[in-house]
Structure 1
Amino acid sequence: MLSNPPLFKYRRYWLAVIIVLLAILDPFGLASSSDKASAQWLNRMFASHYPSLGQQRVAVVLIDDAYLMRNDSSWPMPYGEQSKLFKRLLAYKPGAVFVDLLYSHDHSLGDPARGSQLLANVFERYQRQGIPLWLANTGLKRAEAGQANTLAPFMQVSRPALVVWEGVDDKYPLAKHTQAGLMETPALALYREFCATHECKPPPVDAQTAAQRQPIAVQWGLKLAPEQARIADIRHCAAARHFLLDGVAQLFQAVFWKLDDSAQARCPYTLTLSASDLEVTEPDDQALIAELLHDRLVLVGANIASTGDWVESPVHGQLPGVYLHAMALDNLINSGMNYDHEPANFPALPFNWLDLLELGLLALIAVLKALHARRLAGHRAWSRWRRQEIWFFTSPCPSWLLVMSMLAAVSVLLSLNDITPVNVLGIVLLSLVLFSERIEAFFDRDR
């Protein structure tokens, strides 16, 4: 045996190449699933510290089953019923409105009294009163190969906002190229309107510029709007826990995903009103609704048991899809174009520099592990600083603290530059390999 063998044998280098390829090619989605779990854990960790600026400007109005039963209505709602709802909303003078409903099929059954023009006339009132109105749009060309999109009467009295996209995983794009042309998403459209009347960080100059930007890695808030208790019963909503206790609990849930806390009701971060709240008749109640909705950016969505429009929030679990648009808008109001995002991939390659940074941290763990193995085998010091090397590698703790310090420093630098973090959970778990000899010795001590 050589008195001072190389740090790695050649076969280890081949193993390293295989590991790099596995990390980049992501077979079975293992790496991306781990990245997603880590990002969600960090989002839950800091959700209670999410800034509230956007929360003061955004509201959601939900059409729910209780509203349908209260009005003896059905789903999809007849145009006449929708006309009444949007008339009530108009009376409270919101700053802008996005309707997260697809008006792609005329369900008036040939009855002019129930026709789509009834609702289109109400939407036209929004235009006349200077209240911008966007309707959900699929970006498809209507009637081509059975494709559905907004009916013509509604297209004439509203603006389109794209709600269907692909290729960005769980991120939220600002704009996308579609069959119907370049189209912005609701969050950016409403943010532009916000910037027209409030001081803000400038949005992209046009949709083309917006489409070239990286999509938003949406960060979700936890604490309810202070006004929520004035409009709804929030006693069933889970209160925010202590930061450290919540972090430990969320860590165990991220690693052992079956240990979730789904029994706790996490109510949505965005101020939420039911469509039934717009029907109040008492002057005091009407004054409250006016206070909550006047000049706000209002998103109208549905929470109907038979619909499939749901999104997964790392903080709240499943929510009606309209909350994704509301939270993305909230991110823009808080951060402008400095929102959290992933770096773009290298040209013609399926990875980016953040992936290389993660591989660098893994390589550091591998080198430290190899140096520990040399120390345990009694080989000569690998570096010129023999005394320091012997001290450093006598215990795995200094090496582990070094990895954790570098991970923390990298995470802080990425956060300051609005870049999504590296796979914190994965690196923390893999760093435990530094303690493998001690773990084995613990379990073998009685043999």
Structure 2
Amino acid sequence: MPLVVLCTIVAGLGLAWLSNFFDSDEILKRLAARSFAPLLTQDYGTQGQARIAVVTIDDGDLDEYGLTWPVPLDFHQRLIGRIAAHQPRAVFLDVVFLDDRPQPQVERLREAVCAAAANGVPFYYATYQRVDLSSNVELMLSTARTPTGERCAQPVRAPVEVDRLDQHQWVYPLNPASGPAAHDRARRAPSVALTLHCLHDPQNCPRDTSEPMALLWPTAAAASNLEIMVRPRMDGKGYDPICRGEWHWSEAVPFNGLARRVWHWVWAQEYQKPAPLCPYNQVVPASAFKGIGFTAEELDHALRERFVLIGVDLIAINDHVLSPVHGRLPGVHAHAVALDNLITLNGRYMGGGGFEWPWDGWTWTGWQKATLFSLASLCLVAGALVPYKCWQRGRLKAARTAHAASRKSAPFQSWERFADLARRHAGTRGKALRWLVLGALLVWLLAYLCSAAGGPGRLLILLPLTLALWMLLSGQPVFGRHDVHRLALGLRVTEVLVYALVTLAIVCLGFGVFRQGPLVVVEYVGLTALAGVLGWGETVARHAHAFWRALSDGDPVEAWNRHAAEEADKRIDP
């Protein structure tokens, strides 16, 4: 057994490395993570939510101000001035100015930015930091100074790393990689989230940011989002919310969409797909500064002493991200959630790296956290499931052997005994058929009475359908009296429980000890259900043992051929 455990770990490490090259496996992993990820945030704190606000500019806001995109710089100047009046902790503008603007507007924007900085409100702006893309607006922002000589604005990079397989925002690079050297400036600015967090909370600034951060998208949206994110009804009477504020744990159950459809079918209701979740961080539309949706007191409470991130949510501007939990969101929410993760987790962010060997060529690079977690989880899987599978096979083999021996020890004594058993069997089949027809009539009668009383009559039909489906999947009677059948059913139930316990242990190990993100945790949770890995480990161990024995034989080739013949006999007649 120790050899089987060792070979299982080695096979699992090889599979973890190879999975990076199989897109089909990676896609399945992401599908599972989209259902599983919200469970990791059920105990997520609210420290970041209480310190972050997202100001959005959408098409409705532009209609209120009578503007079209791109808006004049005067709009940004007035918006920054009104936000700075509420004394936020800092302001970040997620708009890159690529075109030159009229010089008077540029000067007024400089005055607003420097006035905010002089009043203790730091201002940050997004930039590509490329000389060929710099405009007179960026030039002004990079050179503007307060009367005391301090910089009025700080440039930060706003990277959005889209996943190449499902286009969702799973990770957030804290220190974006530099572009072509010819277009790089001498000093590269870090990301938005890292800059805001470290400059305003240096004690909890992460020291090592080489590993990308796995984003945790919390589900408990700010209470005001459900009230302000609405659309008018078709009849013009009132508004309907465009998102929902709660996430239910049942959404993490596999095939939960099918279960919801079955539930609506039982109650004879029309199925409607659930609305997406509202954004986690508090949203303040730009129209709120005209008194729409927020009172003066509510607006001051939403902005004072908070990090305010300004972004756009326009149809004509492709500045959006796909959250694995919330769906399509304005791109500024990726920076808000990343900053929220750093604040709530006190800088100890979740890792978003993959499995990597601890060497590069002949150079030892050290163990990554994701690699150590993969090794620990594989040891847990092999150490728990390999002994259980061996014990399970032993129990089933002993039961089948005992059953076969009992049948051989009581042969038919005469033709009369065989005929008597045949007559009894025919009577049993008749009784079973009568009971089956009677049960079907009873179920139909109960369903009719339940439906007549206003209840879900279709619910009773699910019971026989479920039992029939279980019989087809398990290959045995649900209430069978065969000893081997009962043992096999009990072992399958026990196997599910063992897998569940190992899965829970891996989740706690990856999320609580190694601090890995949803994609990494889901990858190794899948190993508990991947019976092929266990089979590969046992197969490799059996062949390795036979190979070692063949080397010590007088004729190694003949010994290996005998082993191959025995393996073929097992496959033909197990």
TM-score (norm: length of structure 1):
0.74
Q: Which residue of 1 aligns with 2:122?
A: 132
2:56 equivalent to 1:37: no
| 3-state secondary structure, aligned to 2:92 | strand
Query: Which string of whole-angstrom CA distances, capped at 9 and with x for unpartnered residues, describes residues 408-438 of structure 1?
Result: 122213222223324366345435999xxxx
Supply the AA of the counterpart residue of 1:95.
Answer: R
Q: Which residue of 1 aligns with 2:191?
A: 185
After TM superposition, the structure 1 stretch with the greater mean CA deviation from structure 2, 33-42 or 304-313, is 33-42
2:480 equivalent to 1:406: no
Equivalent residue for 2:252, pick from 242, 247, 260? 247
2:514 equivalent to 1:415: no
Contact 1:47/1:222, CA 8 A, preserved across alignment: yes
Q: How many residues align?
A: 395
Supply the AA of the counterpart residue of 1:123.
Answer: V
Alignment of 1:13-412 (within 5 A): 21=14, 23-25=16-18, 26-106=20-100, 108=101, 111-113=102-104, 115-138=105-128, 140-143=129-132, 151-156=138-143, 157-164=152-159, 170-178=170-178, 179-180=184-185, 181-195=187-201, 202-204=204-206, 209-212=207-210, 214-228=211-225, 235-243=241-249, 245-248=250-253, 251-252=254-255, 263-280=274-291, 285-342=295-352, 345-348=356-359, 352-357=371-376, 359-360=378-379, 372=392, 395-412=491-508
CA separation in 2, counterparts of 1:125 and 1:277? 22
Supply the AA of the counterpart residue of 1:252.
Answer: F
CA separation in 1, counterparts of 2:155 and 2:225? 30
Query: Which string of whole-angstrom CA distances, capped at 9 and with x for unpartnered residues, describes residues 223-259 of structure 1?
Result: 222344676658443242543x3332xx326999x99
CA separation in 2, counterparts of 1:426 and 1:32? 11
Query: Which string of whole-angstrom CA distances, capped at 9 and with x for unpartnered residues, describes residues 46-82 of structure 1?
Result: 4454322211111000011011122221212111222
Q: Tell me how large the CA RMSD over aligned residues is.
A: 4.2
CA separation in 2, counterparts of 1:317 and 1:339? 22
| 3-state secondary structure, aligned to 2:214 | coil
Q: Which residue of 1 aligns with 2:564?
A: none
Query: Which one has a bigger Cα radius of gyration?
Result: 2
C-alpha spacing 1:230/1:412, structure 2 compared with 1 (3 Å): same
CA separation in 1, counterparts of 2:290 and 2:357? 53
After TM superposition, the structure 1 stretch with the greater mean CA deviation from structure 2, 179-188 or 87-96, is 179-188
C-alpha spacing 1:73/1:220, structure 2 compared with 1 (3 Å): same
Supply the AA of the counterpart residue of 2:118.
Answer: R
| 3-state secondary structure, aligned to 2:213 | coil
CA separation in 2, counterparts of 1:175 and 1:165? 12
Shift in Å, 1:126: 1.7
CA separation in 1, counterparts of 2:15 and 2:303? 51
CA separation in 2, counterparts of 1:323 and 1:357? 34
| 3-state secondary structure, aligned to 1:340 | coil
Supply the AA of the counterpart residue of 1:268.
Answer: P
Supply the AA of the counterpart residue of 1:203.
Answer: C
Contact 2:377/2:506, CA 8 A, preserved across alignment: no
C-alpha spacing 1:366/1:142, structure 2 compared with 1 (3 Å): farther
After TM superposition, the structure 1 stretch with the greater mean CA deviation from structure 2, 294-303 or 87-96, is 87-96
Query: Which string of whole-angstrom CA distances, capped at 9 and with x for unpartnered residues, describes residues 119-145 of structure 1?
Result: 23321222211211111122x4321xx
Supply the AA of the counterpart residue of 1:271.
Answer: Q
Consecutive unaligned residues of structure 1, counting only runs of 5 or more, are 1-5, 382-390, 435-447
- The structure with the largest helix share of the pair is 2
Contact 2:56/2:311, CA 8 A, preserved across alignment: yes
Contact 2:381/2:528, CA 8 A, preserved across alignment: no
Query: Which string of whole-angstrom CA distances, capped at 9 and with x for unpartnered residues, describes residues 152-188 of structure 1?
Result: 1122331111112669983112223533334221112
CA separation in 1, counterparts of 2:490 and 2:332? 55
C-alpha spacing 1:338/1:433, structure 2 compared with 1 (3 Å): closer
CA separation in 1, counterparts of 2:333 and 2:161? 18
Contact 2:171/2:352, CA 8 A, preserved across alignment: no
Contact 1:54/1:333, CA 8 A, preserved across alignment: yes
C-alpha spacing 1:293/1:225, structure 2 compared with 1 (3 Å): same
C-alpha spacing 1:33/1:103, structure 2 compared with 1 (3 Å): same
Shift in Å, 1:312: 1.4
CA separation in 2, counterparts of 1:315 and 1:149? 39
Contact 1:38/1:423, CA 8 A, preserved across alignment: no
| 3-state secondary structure, aligned to 1:52 | coil
| 3-state secondary structure, aligned to 2:172 | coil
| 3-state secondary structure, aligned to 1:124 | helix
Percent of paired sites with the same residue:
26
Supply the AA of the counterpart residue of 2:157.
Answer: L
